[in-house]
Chains A and B, each alone.
Chain A
Amino acid sequence: MKILVCISKAPDTTSKIAFTEGNTKFDENGVQYIVNPYDEWYALVRALEIKEAQGGNVTIITVGTAADEAVIRKALAIGADDAVRIDADPKDAYYTAVQIAEYAKNNQFDLVLTGKETINYNGSQVGGMIAEALDAPFISVATKLDVNGSTMTLEREIAGGIEVVETGLPAVVSCAKGMAEQRIPNMRGIMAARTKPLQVVAPVSVEDMTSFVSYTMPNAKSACKMIDPSNMDELVELLHNEAKVI
């Protein structure tokens, strides 16, 4: 079983979000990068559990620059066998997905896992795009994944409920809460990660389909109006007449 786990970097969840260069670029000043939580907590950990139960290999892949190798090492410390970095600074999901699909095609993976979205761009785009490029089934927002030989059983969220499905391999799955529990890397893992193989691959040539032109911040909230806890009629009145939401 060869599993490819797509890893994105994401700013630490407590990062101050700000922009530079006339609000056209994310301000990386003082920002710590982590492995995107959905990729790490669910996709990577589930891949490792499958490997531990039935053998195989877990490769992580990221499209990024040399600066992103720190994040790759974090993912290796959790237990992936090896890593691939496609050497590029991706600007859109399509560019990223084409690079990963190309690598997956050339290296014959049984299963490609992604997180359900990144916490910085929230696009939910890369997994589906890889699946289309590979002409493989895509199970999105999966909360459970079991491999039985050459088929998989999954649970996934659908409009208004949960669906249990079965599909063959190879396939692409985007992973969400429920699939696995976060693992904290131990010292041995962190040491081992330093010497695990990290292959750098040149990107294939492809044009971006979208670009982020600029960013803005939401308007600051005006002061909070305090209501006496014994007077909920007043709150209801304000929600109706002032806020006009009920």
Chain B
Amino acid sequence: MTTADLHTLTGAYVLHALGPEERVEFEHHLMECPSCDQEVRELAATAGKLSLVVAMVPPPELKQQVMRRISTERQEPPGPGRARLERRSGGRALSRFVLAACVAAAMGLGGVSLWQHQEANDARQAAQRAERQSAELAAVLSAPDAKLAAGGLPGGAKGTVVVSTSLNKAAFFTSGMPEPAAGKVYQLWFNDNGTMRSAGLMNPATPNNAVLMKGPVDAASGMGVTVEPAGGSSEPTSAPLAVMNFPT
């Protein structure tokens, strides 16, 4: 890697986003590049601020446990830290779940609750269903040819569609969708050259949602979302809230 390239790695470095080799290479560079060194300090302080957005109140027993542990834990003397060789693994396939969660997280900062199964945490069955669906979703997301297109929906909500041509499947994610009026549902459609083909319903109760679109993509060039009477319709009965072209 050239020195000019190395200068650009400060951000990835402070976010712990480099692979192991690049990390080592960059750390060598840091020792001889004062401007990167300064930038790393500033960007590390900046990244730390991002944690404020997700801060939580810790459970009281956590403090008790930690306070108990320190009374028996030896402290290390001052001095240079051990050059801890990090067990980092580059290039591993993403866990399917994490991958799916990422897309949803990417659409809205932090506080995204994405899975429909959250409301059904009482039932093992629901968990299995969610797992099955998420496995299918994840297959789409992790397909080597998966492509993603994002667009706005009314009311500031966002939609992201992920399409895999090799799997002939598409998934649709929303964030910030308002609940539809009573007795109404959101329905997804494939756009077959102007003809809308149903791709299933979206759970209306959760503003942030991830669904596998029902049926094959085939020749569809895009998708649409409409509001339909409960149970859905065989063809759209209202003007679409959004129409998105599939990424190519």
B and A form one assembly: no
